[in-house]
A and B are shown apart, each in its own frame.
Chain A
Amino acid sequence: MKTIWQGPIEKIDDYRWCIPKSYKSGMLVDGVIYADEKMLGDICKDKAAEQVANVAFLPGIVKYSMAMPDAHWGYGFPIGGVAATDVDAGGVVSPGGVGFDINCGMRLVRTNLKEKDLAPKLKDLVYGLYNDVPAGVGSKGDIKITGSDEKKLLVEGSKWVVDHGYGRQEDLEYTEERGAVKGADPDSVSPRAYERGKNQSGTLGSGNHFLEVQVVDEVYDGTAAEVFSLEKGSVTLMIHSGSRGLGYQVCDEYSKDFLHCLSKYGISVPDRQLACAPVNSDEGKAYLGAMRCAANYAWANRQCLMHLARGVFEKVFNMGPKDLGMDLVYDVAHNIAKIEKYNINGKERTLCVHRKGATRAFPPGHPEIPEKYKKCGQPVIIPGDMGRNSYLLVGTKRAEETFYSTCHGAGRLMSRSAAIHACRGRSISRELENKGIIVKSSGRETLAEEAPEAYKNVNEVVSVVEGAGISKRVCRMRPLGVIKG
């Protein structure tokens, strides 16, 4: 595919590229793309760079409109986009800067198991997970929540489900925001959003959502790995899911409402999916109240999924929770808007940080990370494609320049239809089985859509964020068993 981007791009250093604000009238700040030369080429093959420039129009945006190395063409924002707006200087919040899958995110669980323990039981484990964890389009969870409990779940998030038997109290300690961000307002969530979320708690979803059994195959930072109780050969479980229908409906309704805010607040943006409203307006507050409900729902959902998966491990290995040691390493969102404080030109400012397909990466010592992790920094969970690797990283001080944000995954290289076309006549599950990876999927075409070659190489993405100094490798995992929606 040829290069679509024809605009200016200036090299800052080996990992940073600038789209100057002179590119388009209306850009308030420069755009910055984190990539090496090769990845920049991929990013410029679709409309992602144009979208980086479009995001620079958002009122109140500070520093830069940024894209991480896994960036690709999204809707409104690029996937992999980061933008912060100054709340007290008319800064806006845009539902399109969070996305439909509010608090889509990652969870990493450690175990006491080693690769050799897993080998004889791998098939049973994958089939067990496939049977016990509801996945796929239209799937329904077995967790039924009604009436006033629904509102409680949206406010209390993970805690509510833990209190009702889905996991352990200590899981909350290792979840971003302890699994419930403050300021959730259940009255800002429409009856329709409740209705779409009702039967979906504890369901994985479909498309790129997954559950993966992995083994740590490389350790880069032994000290940090030890803090996370991981070593070479350790078996891990990774979960990727979000807020399901509830989040989609919230984004949908507020995106529509916010179209009317553009004229009301005199805002001009080049794409309707960038519709936004000032954070301090009634509309902005209502959206954030609803978005936080969806975020809490997503944390509760991943908590349920982990609980279901722990049950399957206990059954298959005939071991108790203590012997299995399935402790949560961390859970972190990669589609969310957060209110955070930063020093901008010598003054502390309150910012609304949009991370759309980007992961929060707080540095060592940050007050919002678990006590046990204070010395090494916040864990950052980066999934790759199902045939190659995934990573555990930690945040760094230098990432202040990205509002402590980093990449979120490999990022797609091929469209879904191109991937299906490329895989015609092939059995992806057999190809993976030959590499020792067992996969199960509920969707007919999911495996082809999610074929490894459809993604960028996560190893290259991670080497860019490490090279740029915005996060640091702790260990690398290799997939053994994969359940796709």
Chain B
Amino acid sequence: MTKKYEQFSHTADIGARIYGKDLKELFENAAFAMFDIIADLEGLEATVARAVEVEGEGYEELLVSWLDELLYNFYTKSIIFSKFEIWEFSEKKLKAKIYGRPVGVNRNRLKTEIKAATYSGLEIKKTAEGYQVEIIFDV
């Protein structure tokens, strides 16, 4: 399997360099990266699913909106999401089904509190293998 993402060094926050063979996969991998930073996803079995829909002006804004929508769902529904299926995707809108497991009372899978995904320096780049983007998460 190809690498979904890697962390890069940022003094105060957490930077993640995300890869995808196409834009849809880039978005799904960005969501995975964020939750992989938030929680220990190893062996986490999804027991619940939710539907989400987000809009934005262009792919970069849509990407931040998508991640922030997922954070909102994580914090308010107390669910760790680990699987993301985007089924409708355009430059202005995406619809997805997201799967995860409730955080649970002892919160033992949680690692890092991400406050938000930022727009800082965000640029989706075309590469030989597909697409790449660097995102800075405020932690």
Contacts and interface: CB of A to CB of B under 8 A. Distances in A.
Contact of A196 (B10, B38, B72, B107): B72
Interface string B74-116: 0110100000000000000000000000010001001111011
A205 B76 contact: no
Interface stretch (B22-30, B41-49, B57-65): B57-65
A415 B9 contact: yes
B72 A249 contact: yes
Contacts of B38: 137
A75 B112 contact: no
B116 A273 contact: no
Contact of B61 (A245, A259, A417): A259
Interface residues of A, number: 46
B7 A417 contact: yes
A379 interface: no
**Which one of B11, B75, B115, B122 has the highest number of Cβ atoms from chain A below 10 Å of its Cβ?**
B11
Interface string A137-168: 11100000000000000000000000000000
B12 A74 contact: yes
Contacts of A368: none
A418 B13 CA distance: 12
B107 A136 contact: yes
B138 A260 contact: no
Contacts of A205: 113
Contacts of B118: 75-76, 96, 273
Interface in A78-104: 79, 96, 99-101
B9 A418 contact: yes
Contact of A415 (B11, B75, B78, B111): B11
Nearest to A418: B9
Contact of A76 (B60, B61, B64, B120): B120
Nearest to A259: B61
Interface residues of B, number: 34
B139 interface: yes
A366 B118 CA distance: 37
B116 A415 contact: no
Contact of B12 (A72, A76, A196): A72
A275 to B, nearest CB: 7
Nearest to A209: B113
B57 A260 contact: yes
A413 B12 CA distance: 8
Nearest to B136: A75
B65 A256 contact: yes
A271 B122 CA distance: 9
Given A76-B118, A100-B115, A416-B139, A196 B75 contact: yes
Contacts of B119: 75-76, 255, 259, 271-273, 275
Given A99-B138, A138-B103, A252 B116 contact: yes
Nearest to A77: B120
B36 interface: no
A347 interface: no
B120 to A, nearest CB: 3
Contacts of B57: 259-260
Interface in A239-274: 245, 248-249, 251-252, 255-256, 259-260, 271-273
**Which one of A196, A248, A271, A485 has the highest number of Cβ atoms from chain B below 10 Å of its Cβ?**
A248
Given A195-B76, A259-B119, A417 B14 contact: yes
Interface string A46-74: 10100000000000000000000000111
Nearest to B117: A252
Contact of A413 (B7, B11, B107): B11
A445 interface: yes
B10 A73 contact: yes
A196 B76 contact: yes
A212 B55 CA distance: 43
Contacts of A256: 61, 64-65, 68
Given A136-B107, A245-B75, A73 B122 contact: no
Contacts of A417: 7, 9, 14
Contacts of B64: 256
Nearest to B139: A207
Given A137-B112, A206-B112, A248-B116, A415 B107 contact: no
B113 A445 contact: no
A443 interface: yes
Given A272-B60, A443-B110, 9 more contacts: A72-B11, A96-B118, A137-B112, A138-B110, A139-B107, A273-B118, A412-B12, A416-B14, A443-B113
20 contacts: A46-B11, A48-B11, A73-B11, A73-B12, A75-B13, A75-B136, A76-B118, A101-B115, A136-B107, A136-B113, A137-B38, A138-B107, A195-B76, A196-B76, A415-B12, A415-B14, A417-B9, A443-B110, A443-B111, A485-B113
The 8 A-B pairs of least Cβ separation, nearest first, read: A75-B120, A272-B119, A137-B113, A75-B118, A206-B113, A273-B120, A415-B9, A100-B115
Interface of A: 46, 48, 72-76, 79, 96, 99-101, 136-139, 192, 195-196, 205-207, 245, 248-249, 251-252, 255-256, 259-260, 271-273, 275, 412-418, 443-445, 485
Interface of B: 7, 9-14, 38, 57, 60-61, 64-65, 68, 72, 75-76, 78, 103, 107, 110-113, 115-116, 118-122, 136, 138-139
